[in-house]
Structures are given as structure tokens and as C-alpha cells.
Structure 1
């Protein structure tokens, strides 16, 4: 990875076309706030509570510590939030050549994702396993993407990990160990990063791709994020931390103080 928003997108296309196993886990603002132990959530989807969900944070942090040439991480863009970018960067042990943008399939690359990645999903001969929202049906996933297997994730993903961790790990062990050369599409919010880590530990012979919300307009038939509907957001090209910043400044990993919501 070169930390160029468009060139890194092309590199993942090449990896996919070459059918080489790899993993890509994207840590954006929600994950950064969890790692900073700040309250955060996505309305009607999930909530992280600092005093109650520290095990989730620990699992998320551990998933950042893979050192493997085929395991890639997406980081918050530096221009969006320097402290988020620096915090996630400080917690990963991955080589810089394995780092790129968390928003690689969003913003200015989202149209390309729909035009270039999705057709590849549909025409691939490899098995496709979708891990994501339980409100989706297997038939819808098969029709839209050619999915052959589905692991539904019901409810709040933070609560799900707290109550079903062992069960989820056992199911992931089954899925990853039975498939060879499969494409796993992961859309599980912050939990998705933990699941990709777990899948990779079982088998390094598949592709584990964190698609997040990039497929939502196709699967749900409506936009769910600003970059799906806002032309300015959809045209945005995120920036990496300039080299002179990295050379001249120490990492700013302390998040700004925020008022805690009243209980």
C-alpha cells in the first residue's frame, strides 16, 4: 500500500483478481472512539459504554496486532481527525506497507466500488460467505451478490460479542476451516474487525474483506450513510498524514476531552 486513496483501491482489485488470500479490516471513527474508551454508537445499531464494555475494547485492540504481509488495516484519514489516525496507528504493529484508508470503499471511491468490486463478486467462481445484518435474507444476498453462505449477526454487535463470544468463535472456526479460497464479505460494524481477526487465525487460505456499509444501498435498497447520498461527501478524497508531519511531530494519540453524557 502506498497510502494513495485511488492506487490502494487498485491494489486491492489486483489482489482480488489474483485470487490471493488476504484480510482487510477497516478501523474508522467508531472504532477509534472505542479504542479511546469514549462512548460511541450508531443509532439503532450498536452502543459502546466505557464502564461496561471494556472486554469488547480489549478484543478490538487485540485484532490490531497482526503482523502478516497479507493482513491489511484501514485507518481513519488524517485530515478527518489527526488524533484518531495517530491513535489507531500507535496501536497496530503492522508494517506501514500494510496500512491504508478505512474509507477506501467510501467517499470518492464508492462509485468505483459499486462499479468494479460488486461485478467481481457476482461473477466469481469462489464461494462467497456474507457475515452481517440478520435482517437480510439469504435469498436477497444470493440474488444481489451470489452469496452461497450467510452468518447473520442479530442486534447490537457490542452486546452480541458480550453474550455470544464463544458461540460466535465456534461458528467462525467451522466456516473458515471448511472453506478454501472463499471470499468472506464482512459487514459487522466494530465487531467485524474482531471477527476478521478470528477467521484469519483459523485459516489464511480465504479472503476476508471488511465491506462495512459500502453494500448497504444495494442490499437494503436505500442509502444508510452520508456518502451514499451526499454528492460532496461522495466526491471526497481523504488524505494520509503528510511525511513532514510524521517526521516533525510526535504522534498525538491522546484524544480530546469530551463531556460524558449524563446517566
Structure 2
């Protein structure tokens, strides 16, 4: 999948293929099942508990059939087993997608984080002027100016997505902003790092135009877009090992491969 994110020539010039990847974490599951969670300083997000509009939209996105696009615009889900919220076999019944398009939620983080940084820096060079960046609106203006040197467009969204999403007007505006942007481009990389909003925004963007690459990088972009080391894995990636799926960077041919480790 990593090679699909940064396409080699001549594939990079095609306008009839795309890709989507979203990660479903424990807080996303808590939103879908109406479970409260407290304020976290990194995400600047909390939820009081009970049914939420964002949780409902997350469920709707999972249930939307993806099969008809798998040949030219596959939609991947990064998941993991959150037993305390929902057993994995029950969770899989919520996802309307072929099982071969399910991968690991922590693909870009923890022990894979160093390779992710290499991947994204290569994207900044190879796809300069062709990346749409979707980040939080708390980004420093000076940093935004720096990001604009390699991003063709930057969309800003608020931090506390679940609370904002309860306002129908703000929700509709947020959806309209991403879908209108998705319509304007083909074969562009949309790099998302807006917390819980990412999952639903990618769903709506992909529905509007499946011929872009919509990637949920999450906090793995914080060091690049904010000059901040936020989650612990960024300062000590080797300590947070994910032995199932490993992202490798091969200097020979400059390719990224995902391998399975038992």
C-alpha cells in the first residue's frame, strides 16, 4: 500500500485510480458505542458519552459498500482488536469491505514511525505542489507558510471534532469544504491529520471523487506539520513495537514494502 501512496511514473500521471486509508482507534470505537472519554491534551478532544453525530457518521462510513471500487480505488481500513468495547468478530460485521482490504491501525506509528517520516519526506519532494494537507487550525502561521511551499492547498479544521460535529451547520460546512476540494483534483494526495474528523472526512471525500489518494496519517504528521513531538512513540519508536505489520524502506529502488512478521 505504501507504494500506492507515492506512485511511480507513469502511474503517477493516471487519473483513473485512487486509494483511501483510514485508521479506526479505540476513541473512534468509543464514539460509535457512545462511551465517554476525558480530555486528552494531545488530541484536545473529549466526549461526554451517549450517542454522537460523529459516531453515527463513523458507523455510516463503515457500512457504506466499497466493493465496486476495489479494482481502481480500494478503500483500506486500519483496525485492531478493542475487546473491552467490541469483540473483533462483531466489529468486522460493521465494515462493508472485503477482508483483504483490512490492515493494521498502527501502520504509520510506533516502531514504523522512522520509516513513515522517510516516506512522507519523499512525498514532500516527489509530490511537491500536489499534496492537499488537512490539519488542525491551531497550526502556527509561520509554519503554515512553510508548509505552503510544498502543499498545493491546506485545509484547516478544529481540534475538538466530536463537539463541533454536534452543530449541524458546522458539520455541513466541514463536509462541504472537503468534498468541494476533492472535486477540484484528480490523482492528488490528501494527507489527513485532524483526529477523529479524519475518518468521516475521508469517507465523504472518497464518495465525492474516488480518484485521489486519501490517507489518514494521524499524529505521524505532527513533527512535520507542527514541529512538535506529541505522542510518546515519536521520541522512542523502538519501545512501542508493532510486530504484525512492518513498514520497510528499501534504498535499492527507493521502494516501501509492508511485510508480515510472526
> TM-score normalized by structure 2?
0.77
CA distance in 2, matches of 1:103, 1:36: 21
Equivalence for 2:117: 114
Please say if residues 32 and 88 of structure 1, whose CA atoms lie closer than 8 Å, have aligned partners that are also in contact: no
Equivalence for 1:133: 136
Equivalence for 1:60: 58
Equivalence for 1:181: 187
Equivalence for 2:77: 73
Equivalence for 2:174: 168
Shift of residue 13, structure 1, vs aligned partner: 2.3
Q: Which has the higher strand share?
A: 2
Q: Which of the numbers 37, 41, 54 marks the counterpart of 2:34?
A: 37
Equivalence for 1:5: none
Q: Does 193-202 or 35-44 show the bigger shift?
A: 35-44
**Residues 46 and 104 (structure 1 numbering): CA distance in 2 closer, same or farther, change over 3 Å?**
same
CA distance in 2, matches of 1:85, 1:21: 28
CA distance in 2, matches of 1:162, 1:126: 34
- Cα-Cα RMSD: 2.5
For each residue in 1:44-86, what CA deviation from the matched residue of structure 2 results, as whole angstroms up to 9, or x when unmatched? Answer: 41112223x522211111111232411111102x4x7574644
Shift of residue 25, structure 1, vs aligned partner: 0.8
Q: Which of the numbers 104, 108, 127 marks the counterpart of 1:105?
A: 108
Equivalence for 2:21: 24
Structure 1 alignment gaps of length 5 or more:
1-10, 240-263
SS class of match (1:223): coil
SS class of match (2:63): coil
CA distance in 2, matches of 1:95, 1:232: 32
> TM-score normalized by structure 1?
0.77
Task: Note if 1:158 corresponds to 2:157.
Answer: no
Q: How many pairs were matched up?
A: 227
Q: Does 107-116 or 125-134 show the bigger shift?
A: 125-134
For each residue in 1:87-120, what CA deviation from the matched residue of structure 2 results, as whole angstroms up to 9, or x when unmatched? Answer: 5323111111110011100112111111123312
Please say if residues 107 and 237 of structure 1, whose CA atoms lie closer than 8 Å, have aligned partners that are also in contact: no
CA distance in 1, matches of 2:226, 2:25: 22
CA distance in 1, matches of 2:242, 2:127: 30
SS class of match (1:171): helix
CA distance in 1, matches of 2:161, 2:172: 14
